[in-house]
Chains A and B, each alone.
Chain A
Amino acid sequence: DQQVKQNSPSLSVQEGRISILNCDYTNSMFDYFLWYKKYPAEGPTFLISISSIKDKNEDGRFTVFLNKSAKHLSLHIVPSQPGDSAVYFCAASVSSYGQNFVFGPGTRLSVLP
């Protein structure tokens, strides 16, 4: 029972273009969402988050969009850089239950020079 899904295992984008990573969830009680980036042999690094009271949050080149009715969120990276090549994990939690984050399986982004 996968509550957080990332249906694209991999994505390739040209340097300078936009990268769009998608995430779908099934649990309507999730109210806090995060994106993490992970390089090989390292731990996940927090990128950006959004609470369910918002539909957009922006931080530099990274923007997260939340569509609650569709139970869908996306991460936009503009412009994409070769250093963005990594595995990106979407995560979600129910705040009132504490900090049990549920992670998606990840999408491997390759930014081609």
Chain B
Amino acid sequence: NAGVMQNPRHLVRRRGQEARLRCSPMKGHSHVYWYRQLPEEGLKFMVYLQKENIIDESGMPKERFSAEFPKEGPSILRIQQVVRGDSAAYFCASSPVSGAGQPQHFGDGTRLSIL
């Protein structure tokens, strides 16, 4: 999983606080994807971004969640007013191009715990 860097690896927040998760894609990759994994489940797609653009946010909850991938710097997944149900592992992936036949390369995730 070297290459896609996520931080922090672990994040603890109290209910009502904000959580910010960061993802730096592999060098040369301009496409970023965020997934969420609940315990004992597979990964669920949340959002797909290119630099400065959200391409597909069909998996994002309508409220409290937002994502960005600015021209400079990492992609940020932001969760406002966190609730217990937000506790999960959040994975970021990247790819050099979009389209058919392109595997995504994943980071090691951020484990979010809500007290």
Contact = CB atoms under 8 A, between A and B. Distances in A.
B78 to A, nearest CB: 20
A98 B106 contact: no
Contacts, number: 73
A49 B1 CA distance: 17
Contact of B42 (A45, A51, A89): A89
A43 B109 contact: yes
A101 B108 contact: no
Given A32-B100, A51-B101, A100-B59, A43 B1 contact: yes
A106 B12 CA distance: 26
Range, interface on chain A: 20 to 34
B102 A44 contact: no
Interface in B58-92: 58-59, 91
Contacts of A51: 100-101
A78 B106 CA distance: 25
Range, interface on chain B: 20 to 34
Nearest to B41: A105
Contact of A43 (B56, B103, B108): B108
Interface in B35-54: 35, 40-45, 48
Contacts of B6: 43
A46 B98 contact: no
A34 B103 contact: yes
B105 A32 contact: no
B7 interface: no
Contacts of B108: 41-43
A51 B1 CA distance: 23
A113 to B, nearest CB: 25
A100 B48 contact: yes
Given A42-B109, A91-B43, A98-B48, 11 more contacts: A4-B42, A34-B103, A36-B106, A45-B1, A51-B100, A96-B100, A100-B45, A101-B45, A103-B42, A103-B44, A106-B42
17 contacts: A34-B103, A42-B1, A42-B108, A43-B93, A43-B106, A45-B106, A46-B104, A46-B105, A49-B101, A95-B100, A95-B101, A98-B48, A98-B55, A98-B56, A100-B59, A103-B43, A105-B40
